[in-house]
């Protein structure tokens, strides 16, 4: 394994949506940089195809926590579990997201609510909860995964586009309040590197 570009030894990073795709890649890179990684997914603790073996093979430390991010009670229970274990989250990556494709005129309220619950509500919930603890310590890093559709709107994905547009603005709101207090809140918009948000 090549040496890390950034040394995160001694840090703990929590990554949502870590089972696959972008979240899995983020978890691997953080582990390669020396961070202990907590991966959150709907069934990640029971997923034999999850990133644990890959990260262990690369010399990293990974722990999976199952949590349905559409369920506020499950989010609270996960946070309480980590608090009870005295687990300090130094880096929070809000990556998990879902999409429902349908023409705007036919986009159901059920699909709208489902997308907002995971893509926006959970981001606010987790950022607020772990951010409070970071503020108490005077340091912390939070990265939200937005989308190129935060800026473009997209086609056939009104709920997803709205949720990701809101994530971009929510990131700015938290960053404006917390930057001077040692907690950095940023967002990245995969799909177009020129659309990266940094604050």
Q: Which residues, at least 6 apart from 128, have a Cβ–Cβ distance to it below 8 Å?
A: none
CA distance 174 to 152: 22
Q: Tell me: the pLDDT tens digits for 11-51?
A: 999 999 999 999 999 999 999 999 999 999 997 866 666 78
Burial of 89 (0-12, 13-18, 19+ CB in 10 A): buried
Catalytic residue among 62, 130, 160, 178: 160
The residue segments making up the domain with residue 34 are 1-96
Q: Are residues 135 and 125 in the same domain?
A: yes
131-160 pLDDT, tens digit each: 999 999 999 999 999 998 888 888 999 999
CATH of the domain at 192: 3.40.50.720
Q: What is the C-alpha to C-alpha distance for residues 7 and 10, in angstroms, rounded to an integer?
A: 9
User: Pick from 68, 66, 79: which is nearest to 40 by CA?
Assistant: 66
Q: How far apart are CA 192 and CA 37, in angstroms?
A: 26
Task: Report which DSSP code applies to 3.
Answer: P
Verify whether residue 156 is a known catalytic residue: no
User: How many domains is the chain partitioned into structurally?
Assistant: 2
Same domain for 154 and 68, yes or no, is no
Shared domain for 92 and 106, answered yes or no, is no
Q: Is the dihedral of CA 43, 46, 47, 50 positive or negative?
A: positive
The tens digit of pLDDT for each residue in 86-116 reads 999 999 999 999 999 999 999 999 999 999 9
**E runs forming strands in 19-111:** 36-41, 61-66, 91-94
For residues 26 and 111, membership in a common domain is answered with no
Q: How far apart (Å, rounded) are the C-alpha atoms in residues 140 and 129?
A: 12
The angle at the Cα of 19, spanning 16 to 22, to the nearest 5 degrees, equals: 70
Pair 173, 84 in one domain: no
Q: What is the pTM of this model?
A: 0.91
Q: Note the pLDDT of residue 193.
A: 43
Residues 188 and 170 in one domain: yes
Instruction: Quickly count: other Cβ atoms within 10 Å of residue 52's Cβ.
Output: 22
Pairing of strands 91-94, 140-145: parallel
Is the same domain home to 102 and 194? yes
109 in the same domain as 31: no
The predicted model gives 48-62 an average pLDDT of: 85
Task: Verify that 26 and 120 share a domain, yes or no.
Answer: no
Do residue 196 and residue 102 come from a single domain?
yes
Considering the domain architecture, whether residues 42 and 24 belong to the same structural domain is answered as: yes
């Amino acid at each position: 394994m090549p040496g890390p570009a950034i040394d995160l030894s001694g840090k703990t990073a929590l990554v949502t949506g870590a089972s696959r795709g972008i979240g899995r890649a983020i978890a691997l890179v953080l582990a390669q940089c020396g961070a202990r990684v907590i991966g959150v997914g709907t069934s990640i603790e029971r997923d034999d195809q999850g990133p644990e073996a890959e990260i262990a093979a690369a010399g990293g430390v990974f722990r999976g926590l199952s949590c349905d991010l559409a369920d506020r009670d499950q989010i609270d229970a996960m946070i309480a579990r980590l608090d009870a274990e005295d687990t300090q989250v130094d880096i929070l990556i809000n990556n998990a997201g879902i999409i429902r494709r349908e023409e705007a005129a036919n986009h159901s309220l059920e699909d709208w609510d489902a997308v907002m619950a995971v893509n926006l509500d959970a981001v606010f919930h987790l950022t607020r909860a772990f951010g409070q603890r970071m503020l108490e310590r005077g340091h912390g890093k939070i990265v939200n995964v937005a989308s190129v559709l935060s800026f473009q709107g997209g086609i056939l994905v009104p709920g997803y586009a709205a949720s990701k547009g809101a994530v971009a603005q929510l990131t700015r709101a938290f960053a404006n309040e917390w930057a001077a207090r040692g907690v950095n809140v940023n967002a990245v918009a995969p799909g177009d590197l020129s659309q990266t948000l940094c604050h």
